[in-house]
Amino acid sequence: MPKPKKKRSPHAPPPERKIGRTLVRVFLLIGIWVFIAAFLYVVYCAIDLPDIHQVTQAPRRPSVTVESNDGTVFARYGDLGGDPVTLGTLPPYVPHAIIAIEDRRFYHHFGVDVLGILRALARNVVAGHTVQGGSTLTQQLAKNLFLSPERAMKRKVQEMILAVWLEHTYTKNQILTAYLNRVYLGAGAYGIDAAARIYFDKPARALNIREAAIIAGLLRAPSRYSPMHDPAEAIERAKTVLQAMVEEGYITESERRIALATAPKPARKPGSGGDGRYFADWIYEKTAPMLDDTGQDMIVKTTLDLSTERAAERHIAETLTRQGQARNITQAALVTLAPDGAIRALTGGADYRQSQFNRATQALRQPGSSFKPIVYLAALEDGLKPDEKVLDAPIRIGSYAPENYEGGYRGEITAREALAESVNTVAVRLFERVGPDRVIATARALGITSPLERNAALALGASEVTPLELATVYASLAAGGRAITPYAITEIDSRSGAVLYRHNQVTPPQTVDADAVEALTSMMEEVLRTGTGKAAALGTRPVAGKTGTTSDYKDAWFAGFTADATSVVWMGNDDNDPMKKVTGGSVPAALWHDYMTEIESKFPEKHLKNGASLGAQILDSTGQATEDMSKALGGLIENLIGGKR
């Protein structure tokens, strides 16, 4: 018999209401636990906060700005900080551009913009990916001041906590000022003033509306919107910024149109693939130790002549484009020195973007016959006369039996003819005549510092040197036997204007016999008139030089000098793969001719120096190192850059 149903009390709530109350209790309980969990997580994040009472300048690497000999900036390294700015020193549209595009509610939120976060979240959900962030300027400042750039929930919560603290501790204008001085804007620029100087070569207070909009546009993606890398993309982004400024009432529609119609000056563009980048990297590598010593931003004034450097890079590129593949030449290096040793061009490879290895300063290669002038100079100092008869015939020294490049022997010929035609047997006989110690001492006196082997193969350039070393030898010969020391830096200044180092030019010492060098120079002129270097001749302009080719065509050189410049060209392959019958008198000599024809066009024809007037010329440019610090740093630089002998 079924049990009778219990009667519901007339005061009891209906079942639906009972279920609703239960759900409310459950959700309320869940909400309480979520709140507790969130509170505990915030406490956990707050415990691990950095010391917010130690607000210091954001860490950055001291910068090195590299200038050419005419003051043009062509490279920068490290992070550049500009002069501190205040809102009172800036045109109002500079901070307004940043507020309009980054944080329109800056003056209305408490450090965290809840409405902005919800709006960004909605847009990101609709788009299916992140298209807008919700961070305020205060949050960005908190991150820059105190936190790492990692993307993590904990860091985001800490960022919000710190933003609220900043808003409680400082005024809005103080926060905005700090942001303008600390924000990263690409190209190593920290702060609005540094960005203005890098991108537009002016202080932030001199920016116009268009420039302010371009810089504000960098905040989303400094690399993508950089006017140095993509001017078209930069101005498209600036249009968005200008429109936002109109919408916020910071500028009028008329001002927007005028800003867009203003023709921009070309953006400053430090070289990224050319314009002396091999040289600049070398300078930075050698001056980097000074950053640790001084902790200051540095401006390095160098000897590089940009027009000469660009000519070197262009002629290398054109030559390899025409003949590289057919002759199996993949690399080249070129160094040019002024009469006093100032480096005017230093190109370390065919394409910096593909390889940053500097073959001009780092690659040790056999110089081949371009080493022979050293042997001849040692013999001339020992009594050899340029027109003295020497024997071209087979020779054997132990197991070493060198042969001439074209085979065959001529019997007795003059020393002048032997050098002009690059006769191997004569060079080895002269090496034996004076001895290895004499030849090595002569090489050292002329500037070679790399190890040299004490065997007869040295006479034919079997010991390796760098192109810069060989250029030093030929520059010393051009100077009449004075020991020229290549130098690349004329002055180093701090950002405040203090002189940290100044090149102290002195008369180079006479390290080999001047009369012997004069005789050798006349013999080397014959190389271009009738010998292996005819392809390098510069018409009626006096030139002395020498070709160099190594076994199996692994290296090919031409080294020579006029009264105004010494230049060395090397060609080969990094893996020592043989070229296709490339001798120093072929492709390198032709490149040397084309390049030197261009750079010599600015100088009148002059006889080759005998070194007598060089001392006075150098003394005219004598500088003086400054203060004790300059002397100490000067010693460091001379050792690292100048290659003291």
pLDDT at 613 over 80: no
Whose CA is closest to 372, among 273, 473, 269?
A: 473
Say what the pLDDT of residue 11 is: 56
Mean pLDDT calculated for residue range 466-471: 98
* Tokens matching residue 363: 């690659």
Q: Which residues contact 306 (CB under 8 A, 6 or more apart)?
A: 68, 70, 72, 74, 275, 276
pLDDT score for 391? 96
| 243-264 pLDDT per residue, tens | 999 999 999 999 999 999 876 6
Give the confidence band of 273 by pLDDT, cuts at 50, 70, 90.
very low
Please report, rounded to a whole number, the percentage of residues in the chain having pLDDT higher than 90: 57
Identify the active-site residue in 63, 67, 68, 102. Answer: 102
- Beta-carbon neighbour count of residue 372 at 10 Å? 28
- Per-residue CA distances from 429 to 224, 382, 407 (Å): 64, 13, 17
Band of the pLDDT at 272, cuts 50, 70, 90? Answer: very low
The pLDDT value recorded for residue 10 is 58
DSSP states along 173-184: HHHHHHHHHH-B
The confidence score (pLDDT) of residue 15 equals 63
Q: 309-485+509-611 domain in CATH 3.40.50.150? A: no
Per DSSP, the residues of 555-604 read EEEEEEE-SS-EEEEEEE-TT-PPPSS--TTTHHHHHHHHHHHHHHTTS-
Q: Please confirm, yes or no, whether 68 is among the known catalytic residues.
A: no
Range of lowest pLDDT (41-45, 178-182, 468-472, 530-534): 41-45
Of the options 3.60.20.10, 3.40.640.10, 3.40.50.300, 1.10.3810.10, the CATH number for the domain spanning 85-261: 1.10.3810.10
pLDDT at 419: 98
Domain ranges of the chain: 85-261, 309-485+509-611
Position with higher pLDDT, 634 vs 435? 435
pLDDT at 612 over 70: no
Q: At residue 615, does pLDDT exceed 50?
A: no
| Residue among 474, 459, 414 nearest 608 (CA) | 474
Q: C-alpha distances in angstroms, 37 versus 30, 31, 155, 369? A: 10, 10, 17, 80
Strands (E), 162-281: 189-190
Helix (H) or strand (E) holding 119: helix 114-127
Q: pLDDT-derived band of residue 230, with 50, 70 and 90 as boundaries?
A: confident
- If one counts every other C-beta atom within 10 angstroms of the C-beta of residue 85, the result is 20
Average pLDDT rounded to a whole number, residues 323-340:
97
**What stretch of H or E contains 245?**
helix 231-247
Token digits of residue 530: 């009738």
CA 181 distance to own-chain centroid? 26
Question: How does residue 337 score in pLDDT terms, banded at 50, 70 and 90?
Answer: very high
Residue 180 Cα to chain centre, angstroms = 28
Give per-residue pLDDT as tens, 382-416: 999 999 999 999 999 989 999 998 888 999 999 99
Distance CA 43, CA 23 (A): 30
CB 158 within 8 A of CB 44: no
35 has pLDDT over 70: no
Averaged pLDDT score across all residues of the chain: 84
For residues 64-83, give the mean pLDDT. Answer: 85
Average pLDDT over residues 67-75: 91
Q: Is 305 or 405 the better-scoring residue by pLDDT?
A: 305
**Tokens 């203060």 appear where?**
627
User: Is 148 a catalytic site residue?
Assistant: no
**135, 369, 463, 586: which is the annotated catalytic residue?**
369
Torsion of CA 85, 87, 92, 95, to 10 degrees: 70
Q: What is the pLDDT of residue 128?
A: 58
Task: List b or e across 256-277, with b for residues whose CB sees 16 or more CB atoms inside 10 angstroms.
Answer: beebeeeeeeebbbbbeebbbb
Worst-scoring range by mean pLDDT, 108-122, 159-173, 216-230? 108-122
Asked if residues 235 and 261 have their Cβ atoms less than 8 Å apart, the reply is no
Q: Residue 525: CB partners within 8 Å, gap ≥ 6?
A: 542, 543, 544, 608
Tell me the average pLDDT across 45-68: 61
Q: Residue 291 pLDDT more than 80?
A: no
Residue 310's SS3 state is helix
pLDDT of residue 625: 35
Q: Is the pLDDT of residue 494 over 70?
A: yes
